[in-house]
């Protein structure tokens, strides 16, 4: 499937070029092509076991592709470790938040900035996060595991932002949250995107994700089956039928 909207001159921030990936013998990703351009908010949709999380892992370097290329800023990074990519501005907010539960909120945030050494910049970013989430400041010395779900989501976002990323990879931001919090969370993602961050999110909640995204892909059993703008995807009959649970009559 070719890209629907014509690409601009700006080189993509992160790209997957016909990537195949395996878990042992299982073929998890088949010839996946993705490109994330700076400033975009894009989403990857798919049901269970469609390869969404595998795509994220491959992008972040926690899984090596068996063929194809992962390209960051025009450089093939297949053989570079995760730390290399994190240092160059790619950060993930993991599925279900996954904070370091027995560490304090402060320690969680500090760990987000693990690869940075500019203490002034770190302090600055910490202040920015406190502005964004005043609640986090209140909870700074508390164990992360004792926070409520919504607060944990804030800390998880804060932790990712502490790396001062250019590209934020979000793994199922709506998972395990109450509906009201999901709404809040997506507003937050929009807000972060508006502040200049590129966001790539992986979601099952297609309706929600497409309502804020610019573009999207649909993944099915490891293959990209749809690649279109968000508006087109939202009205796409197949997608509506299979993911949004609506028939197009």
Partner 1 sequence: MTDSNSPEVAASEPGPDLTPGGTPDTPGTPGVADLAEAGETDETLLSPPRPVFAQNWKRILSMGAVGVGAQIFLALSNMPLRLDDRLLIKPILSLGYVSLLFVPFIAGNRVGHQIQREGIPMHAAGLHEIFGGVICGVIAGGGVSLLSVLLVNFDLREPLVNWSPMLAELLAFGNSTAFAVFIWLLLGGLAGAAGGAMRLVNPKARRVVVTMVLTVGFISVLESLVMDLAEGLRFEWLTERVYARRGGLNWNWALILAAFSGLVAMLTRGRVRQAREHIASLEGASRARTNFGLIILTGAILVILPLFLGKFTNELLANVGLFVLLALGLNVVVGLAGILDLGYVAFFAVGSYSAAVLTAATSPRINPEMPWLVALIFVVVITGLVGLFIGAPVIRMRGDYLAIVTLGFGEIIRLLFLSDWLADTFGGSQGITMIPGAGIFGLGSVSGTEPRNVFYLVLAFCALAIYISWRLERSRLGRAWMAVREDETVAEAMGINTVNVKLMAFVVGAILGSFSGAIFSAKVGSVFPNSFLILVSIVILVVVIFGGMGSIPGVIAGSAVLIGVLGGPRQPGLLSEFSEYKLLIYGALLIWMMLARPEGLIPSVRRSRELHQQEIAQDSWLREQLDEEAESTAGNDQPARATA
The binding site for partner 1 (CB under 8 A) comprises 60, 62, 81-83, 86-87, 91-92, 94, 98, 100-104, 107, 110-112, 114-115, 141-143, 146-147, 159, 163
Q: Please, are residues 174 and 203 in contact by the beta-carbon 8 Å criterion?
A: yes
**Nearer to partner 1 among residue 104 and residue 221 (C-beta):** 104
Q: How far apart are CA 211 and CA 234, in angstroms?
A: 8
If the CB atoms of residues 23 and 114 are measured against partner 1, the closer one turns out to be 114
CB of 167 vs partner 1, minimal distance in Å? 13
Question: To the nearest whole angstrom, how small is the minimum distance from the Cβ of residue 211 to partner 1?
Answer: 26
Compare residues 80 and 223 and give the one whose CB is closer to partner 1.
80
Provide the minimum distance between the beta carbon of 238 and partner 1 in the complex, in angstroms, as a whole number: 33
CB of 10 to partner 1, least distance (A): 26
| Minimum gap (Å) between residue 37 Cβ and partner 1 | 23
Query: By C-beta, is 45 or 147 nearer to partner 1?
Result: 147
Token pair listed for 92: 């993930």
Nearer to partner 1, 104 or 220 (CB): 104
């Amino acid at each position: 499937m070719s890209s629907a909207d014509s690409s601009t001159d700006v080189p993509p921030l992160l790209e997957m070029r016909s990537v195949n990936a395996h878990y042992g013998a299982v073929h998890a990703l088949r010839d996946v092509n993705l490109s994330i351009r700076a400033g975009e908010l894009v989403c990857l949709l798919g049901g269970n076991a469609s390869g969404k999380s595998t795509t994220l892992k491959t992008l972040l370097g926690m899984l090596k592709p068996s063929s194809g290329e992962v390209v960051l800023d025009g450089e093939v990074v297949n053989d570079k470790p995760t730390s290399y990519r994190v240092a160059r501005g790619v950060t993930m907010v993991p599925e279900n938040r996954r904070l370091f539960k027995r560490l304090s909120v402060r320690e969680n945030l500090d760990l987000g900035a693990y690869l940075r050494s500019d203490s002034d910049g770190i302090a600055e970013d910490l202040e920015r996060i406190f502005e964004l989430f005043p609640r986090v400041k209140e909870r700074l010395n508390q164990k992360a595991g004792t926070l409520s779900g919504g607060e944990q989501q804030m800390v998880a976002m804060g932790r990712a932002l502490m790396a001062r990323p250019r590209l934020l990879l979000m793994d199922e931001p709506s998972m395990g949250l109450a509906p009201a919090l999901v709404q809040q969370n997506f507003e937050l993602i929009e807000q972060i995107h508006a502040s200049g961050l590129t966001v790539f999110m992986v979601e099952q909640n297609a309706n929600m994700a497409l309502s804020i995204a610019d573009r999207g892909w649909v993944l099915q059993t490891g293959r990209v089956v749809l690649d279109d703008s968000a508006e087109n995807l939202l009205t796409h009959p197949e997608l509506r039928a299979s993911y949004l649970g609506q028939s197009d009559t």
